[in-house]
Amino acid sequence: SAAKFPFLQTDSWLSDSVFTTVDKQGVAKTKKVEKKKPAVQPAQMYNWDAAQRQLYQVPVKSANMNSLSILNGYLYWVDTGDEGDEGGNKIYALKITESKKHDPTEVAKGVRDFTPAANGKKILIRYADKTLAVADADGSKADADKNKVELNNWSFAINPQQDWQEMFNDAWRMMRDYFYDRDLHKVDWLAVKKQYEPLLPRVTDRYELDDLLSQMVGELSALHTFVYGGDKRTPASKVQTGMLGASLSKTANGFRIDHIYKADPDFENNSPLARPELRIKEGDVITEINNVPLKDVNDIGELLFNKVNIPVKLTLTDRAKKQYEQVVKPISSRDFYDLRYGEWEYSRRLKVDSESNNEIGYVHLKAMGGEDMDDFVKQFYPVFNRKGLVIDVRQNFGGNIDSWVLEKLLRKAWMYWQGRTGGPTWNMQYAFRGHMVLLCDQQTASDGE
């Protein structure tokens, strides 16, 4: 027989009480129907090819949903909301029944997800704050405080040496059994195990174990074989030293600004000392930070400790020995790295422009992620109509946008337009028609290759 959709209201019209007879006086009488015991239906094979014609819309509002589960006569799901919504994800439940009105119950909010019990009677809720709670799968609102799962009293005795031995064996077996090449790149994998296993007794923490595993896996000489994670100690708080985005050298009175790093002239890429509202120049000397003299300070980082994105006052002396003050916001060490990398990239582009008289373009990709596609678009389209193009993927650490990049580079011009004035244009639009050179090195990895 055909499948029955549980929310379909018209199913009620098939019930015995709907169909009636009318006597001579016009009084409706319910027609008696002889009830029979339903026959046992044999098991049927589901026709997946017909699945698209058997879809129904659940009577709830559209939303970003996942984790749909049917539990104890209820439909459960997680509503992830829209980007920027406050309160985190929410769990909803809806009674599976025929009705003209369907109002789902908000079971819990501020959650990550939930896991149903094997028998469908309970759910384990994982809240955004890592709290765990067990609730009945009866469509009712969960009480996190009442049904909280306490893990504070859980403790396990672990022998680290035995634990690490098991991890070592598992890692070795996984590469033996699941490495893409059955011949393991012609490496004697048993000999590799015998080579590295004697070092296990010298391991003292998870960092050293991961290092040992990395060396062992490295014998296969294959990319995308990673060792990460585990029970590693992490600091309770991460305190950073602020960076000024410049190269400094110690002087008798403070620190001289030898070089201010300059990346692509984008407002967000500016060094803290190169903001347009500042008058700071290379050669000026920083003599004080927040009124603290730098004369006897060996490392300027001592006064920029825990000052990332926090305004600080600099007292400086210019080359004319005139003193002035400026307020800047130091950046993190990671942002400082990006700034220096950006200057290297920007200076290569300017060099290519200068030495080719703007006839050759330069595009650099340091990786192959989504943000790097933005960089490609930003660099490629201003130079797509030049005579030559240098694509620099040196030290590119990979990603997965090769198809997007190649789709742009492989476009061919098949038709030209020539107006009365100006130069020609062509279809396909933005097709590069010149010579192309690709730069790579031993650090070019993964998708960059």
Residues 260-317: pLDDT tens digits?
999 988 877 889 999 999 999 999 999 999 999 999 999 999 999 999 999 999 999 9
Residue 1 has pLDDT above 50, yes or no: no
Q: What is the pLDDT of residue 74?
A: 94
Q: What is the pLDDT of residue 35?
A: 64
Given pLDDT bands bounded at 50, 70 and 90, which one contains residue 85?
low
Phi and psi of 214, rounded to 5°? -65, -40
How confident is the model over 225-243, as a mean pLDDT? 83
Given pLDDT bands bounded at 50, 70 and 90, which one contains residue 84?
low
How confident is the model over 414-443, as a mean pLDDT? 92
Residue 392 has pLDDT above 70, yes or no: yes
Residue 114: partners with Cβ closer than 8 Å, 6 or more residues away? 67, 76, 78, 91, 108, 123, 124, 125, 126
Given pLDDT bands bounded at 50, 70 and 90, which one contains residue 343?
very high
Q: State the Cα–Cα distance between residues 403 and 376, nearest whole angstrom.
A: 13
Structure confidence by residue, pLDDT tens digits, 162-207: 999 999 999 999 999 999 999 999 999 999 999 999 999 999 999 9
How confident is the model over 218-231, as a mean pLDDT? 89
Structure confidence by residue, pLDDT tens digits, 306-333: 999 999 999 999 999 999 999 999 999 9
pTM for this entry:
0.68
Q: What proportion of the chain, given as a percentage, has pLDDT over 70?
A: 90
Domains (ranges, CATH) in the chain?
1-11+42-155 (2.40.128), 160-218 (3.30.750.44), 246-332 (2.30.42.10), 356-448 (3.90.226.10)
Structure confidence by residue, pLDDT tens digits, 103-155: 999 999 999 999 999 999 999 999 998 899 999 999 999 998 899 998 888 88
Residue 20 has pLDDT above 50, yes or no: no
Q: What is the pLDDT of residue 17?
A: 47
